[in-house]
Each structure stands twice: as structure tokens, then as C-alpha cells.
Chain A
Amino acid sequence: MSAVVTEVDRQVDTPASGPREGAFGNAVALACRECGHQVALGPFYACPECFGPLEITYEFPAITREEIEAGPRNIWRYKALLPVPTDIESSPNTEPGFTRLLRADNLGRELGIENLWVKDDSTNPTNSFKDRVVACALSAARELDAKVFACPSTGNPATAVAAAGARAGIKTVVFIPSNLEQPKQVNSAIFTENLVAVEGNYDDVNKLASEIAGEEEGWAFVNVNVRPYYAEGSKTLGYEIAEQLGWRIPDQVVIPVASGSQLTKVDKAFQELIKLGLVEDKPYRIFGAQAEGCGPVATAFKNGTDAIRPVKPDTIAKSLAIGNPADGIYVLDITRRTGGAVEEVTDDEIREGIVLLARTEGIFTETAGGTTVAVTKKLVETGVLDPTKETVVINTGHGLKTLDAVSGQVGAAATIAPTYSAFKATGL
């Protein structure tokens, strides 16, 4: 079996003092996705040369299926492929991952797909895939000796950060837009006393977080200055899908697109598994799902351009509402390279997608999952997705997080008197 070796062939900028030996496992450096410039592993996220995103590079040893299968039933079974130390399990964390991959025959019949699976990440500790990425960010924060664990967020990341920080015993501060719905504030505030409501929208909160990260020592913002480590957590979705299918990459995967990071990391995971010889090298197609009210990547895909024009989001899919997606350009590269596509759907179609998944498979998804289901339906109807091929749809979060999205769609079929005759009159 040949190991994957990422050559560190450039001068690496090294800080005077650094983290302990092995703090980031088999990771060796941070490399700019745009210009290739490399910097030493540390709390850095933007290339000092061109501002491009920094990404973890590794020197992997030989890794076997058996070694992975002998690991814990959470993301740490893949620790050799993540920027975490070998003793990661010994430090308190939420132990996310290894969520169920469900055969979805009922939904498949509705959509006309012969072989359909749902990767259901709503069963993570705080009910979204964000627990995966936050767990990797928490490890980086610890190894970098951060004193505060923080994030800007509209929901899922804030909850995941607040919960993980509570379990780890590290101070958390989460920043949210002040107009965020009260139930979502409670979801995070239950885990931390430091929920800060910022007057503005998500982009304003994100800007503030970036400025704080640049000024305050010892703050680890999961999706700002430790974003390279955080983002790697999404690879575990790809690893799990392949392992749970019997160490096989599916023919087609449909993934929601916000910043686009998750889609790029699932592709990275498949590529790593192939290079490590853990799965057969085969073609696969990756599809991205967006909402029409925030579909800058879908627009660029349809226009055949590389330029992603930022938009002001206006959609019920709040967790996908990033108007200027940082990894959008890479989503275009990957979907085009693999023969996939990026498609978008209306808010009504998203609501229908939520209800469809719930009533066919008993899975209550949030708006992001509704988007993915609705886009899958549209891709079949337009002949873009091959319904005869094995397809995996990723559900990234639980519907209880976005009850408001469908509260007007579903409810009592009838209100009746407590009598048998009244019941019979309903025709149920």
C-alpha cells in the first residue's frame, strides 16, 4: 500500500515557539490553496502572500481498514487522517460522528432513484454535522493553548461550540445576530453564559469575529483563525460514507452548500481514501445544493463562470445563507471535475423537501436538509442525476432546529369532539 505524501518543498515560515510534538498528528504544514505558499501549523487561516485559504497538508503513514475499524465509534477512528494528536480520545470532547447511513427506499421510490441512502448527521451530540468540525477545532484550540473558544454563528456552530467548550472546560464566547430567533438563542445559551448578540446580520457578526481574532491573544474562533483544522472535520463524513457502504465510494453524493467547505472536504476524503488504497479508485459525481435566495455558487455553475458574485441572502435556509461563500470557487472546480452540478431550489421546494423526507423515512431535517432533498428531486427531474446509480444524500441537521420553517405546513388533520362518531367522520 502506498502512503500519501504531501511534499513540503517550500520554505516554511516557522514561529519561534510552537505547539508540542505530535499536536496535529500527521499534519505537517498549512498550505495556501491559491498560491501554494506554506506556513507552519499554528492559528493561521489566510495566506500571508495572497489572502487565500490555508489548508492542512499531511504526510500519512500506511493505514489499514482494520486499524480504522478497531477505533471508537466516533470520528476519532479516523484520527490518523485528521490534524489531531494520537491521544485525542483522552481529552473530554463531544465524541461526534459515526452517525447512521440509512437505506432510503421509500424516498428513493418517490424520487425515482433505485439505490438511495441518507447520511443522517442530525444524530450528532448537538444535532448537526457541526459537532464534527468543532471537535477538530477544539483539539487545535487546546494544542495552541487558547484560553477562549469562540465563533460567529447563526445557529448550529454556536450550539456545537458552546456544548463542546462546556464539556472541555474551556471558556466559550459565541456571537450571533441580535435578531436570531429566541429558540436558537436558547439552544446555545443553555451551554454558555457568554452568548453575545450583535446588532447586524451574519456577515456583520463574521466581520466582527475576524477583527477580534486579529486583536485578542488566546482566542480560537473555530471558523476564523482555526478554520483550517475545523474544516478538516468534515472529511469524516466522506470517510464514514465509504466505510459504511463497505469501503466503497458511492456513484453520486448530494451535499448542501453554504461556504462550500463541507463539499470540498468530502471530495478530499474520497481522494485520500483512494490514494491510501482503502477504497477502489472509481469515478464519482458530487452535486451541490443551494437555496434560490442564496445561490451564488449555483448561479456561477449555470453561467459557466468561475466568478462568484456575492449576494444578500434571503431564504428560510438560514444555515446555508452565506452570500459570499469562501470555498465556492472550489465547489465549482469539484462539481465540474466530477461531472456533478450545483442546483438551487425555492423556499417552498425546501419546505416540501423537509416534509417529504419526514414522511418517507421518518427523518426530520432542518432547512439545509430540505434543500438537499429538494435539489436531489430537481436533479432527477431534469435528468442531471442518474437515478440508476447509487446515490447518497447528506442530512446535516435536525428539524427541531428550524421548526418555524414548517410550522405552517403541518398540523392537526382534524379537530374533533371526543366521540367515536366524530372520529369516524374524519375518514381516517
Chain B
Amino acid sequence: MSVSVRIPTILRTYTGGDSEVSATGANLAEVLDDLDARFPGVKGRILDEDGKLRRFVNVYVGNDDVRFQDDLLTPTPDGTEISVIPAVAGGS
């Protein structure tokens, strides 16, 4: 299943400057694996040493934060838009 992934500025060194790339996978974990195969190292920037989402990264599948869904097991149907965004924005 093909999905699109929006890449934040600080990870575009991995994608040759591309702000949006395509990937495949039935869920977020598989999508990240696919991304890492093509852009080695990028997964390690999004996940910590324990394989969990880093504290200051928000990942949205569609418009929903995966922390409110099934985290890395959140399904990524064909055509889904995924956004990886630094979590330090907002607020006071």
C-alpha cells in the first residue's frame, strides 16, 4: 500500500531535500521500515533506542496523532497522508 510522508525540515538531509516522499506499509511501523531502507538512518531519528516514538516527535496518520490511535501499529491505508512534525510547537 502506497502512502505519502511529509518530512520535517530537519530530516530532509536524509531525503535529498524532498519535503514529501512515498512509502509502503500496512501500518506506521512498516512505513518507517520502508523509509529507512531507502533513506538509511531516518527511522533512528524518529524512534528512540527502544523503538518507541521519540518524546518530541508527533506523527499524524491522516489528521490524527498516532498517540491517540494505535501508535506504531496505526493502520496506513492506501493513499494515506502521514506527517512527521516536531512536537515542541505551540502554547505559551
Q: A51-B45, A53-B56 given as contacts; is B90 within 8 A of A224 (CB)?
A: yes
Chain B residue nearest to A49 in the complex (CB):
B45
Choose one: A46, A52, A322; the contact of B91 (CB below 8 Å).
A322
Q: Are A206 and B56 in contact (CB under 8 A)?
A: no
A259 to B89, CA, bound (A): 9
CA distance A45 to B45 in the complex (A): 16
Mark the stretch among B21-29, B31-39, B80-88 that contacts chain A.
Answer: B80-88
Near B by CB (< 8 A), chain A positions 367-400 give: 396
What is the CA–CA distance of A327 and B91 in the complex, to the nearest angstrom?
Answer: 9
- Within 8 Å by CB of B10, from A48, A319, A325, lies A48
Which stretch (A210-218, A244-252, A352-360, A419-427) binds chain B? A210-218
Decide yes or no whether A167 CB sits under 8 A from chain B: no
Q: How far is the CB of A172 from chain B (nearest CB, A)?
A: 18
A210 neighbours in B (Cβ, 8 Å): 8, 85-86, 89
Query: Of B6, B10, B65, which one neighbours A46 at CB under 8 angstroms?
Result: B10
Cβ of B88: which chain A residues have Cβ within 8 Å of it? Answer: 45-46, 51-54, 227, 326
B45 → A minimal CB distance (Å): 7
8 Å CB interface, A211-240 against B: 211, 213-215, 221, 223-224, 227, 234
- When C-beta atoms are compared, the residue in chain B nearest to A307 turns out to be B55
Query: CA–CA, A152 to B85, complex, Å?
Result: 15
- Which residues from 55 to 70 on chain B have a C-beta closer than 8 Å to any C-beta of chain A? 55-58, 60, 63, 65, 67-68
Report A75 CB to chain B, min CB distance, Å.
15
Q: Is A258's CB under 8 angstroms from B85's CB?
A: no
B18 to chain A, nearest CB (A): 12
Indicate if A324 sits at the interface (CB-CB under 8 A): yes
Q: Which residues of A contact B63 (CB under 8 A)?
A: 200, 204, 207
Closest chain B residue, CB of each to CB of A52: B56
Contacting A214 at CB < 8 Å: which of B8, B55, B58? B8
Nearest Cβ in chain A — how far from B46, in angstroms?
8
A411 to B53, CA, bound (A): 50
> What string of 1s and 0s marks CB contacts (under 8 Å) between A23-55 and chain B?
000000000001000000000011111111110
Asked if A51 and B65 make an inter-chain contact with CB atoms under 8 angstroms apart, the answer reads no
What distance in Å separates the Cβ of B53 from its nearest Cβ neighbour in chain A? Answer: 10
Contact A329 B65 (CB under 8 A): no
Q: Which of B67, B86, B91 contacts A51 (CB 8 A)?
A: B86
Tell me the complex Cα distance, A48–B12, Å. Answer: 10
B43 within 8 A of A: no
Q: How far is the CA of A157 from the CA of B90 in the complex (A)?
A: 10
> Which single member of B9, B65, B92 contacts A130 (CB below 8 Å)?
B92
- Whether A133 contacts B92 in the complex (CB less than 8 A), given A210-B85, A324-B58, A324-B87, comes out as yes
Seed contacts A46-B10, A259-B91; 15 additional CB < 8 Å A-B pairs: A47-B10, A49-B45, A51-B57, A51-B86, A52-B55, A54-B88, A200-B63, A202-B90, A223-B91, A223-B92, A259-B92, A260-B91, A312-B68, A326-B56, A329-B55
A-B complex: 5 closest residue pairs judged by Cβ atoms: A259-B91, A46-B86, A51-B56, A53-B88, A224-B89
The contact sample of 8 A-B pairs, CB cut-off 8 A, is A46-B10, A48-B10, A51-B10, A206-B90, A207-B85, A261-B92, A322-B90, A326-B91
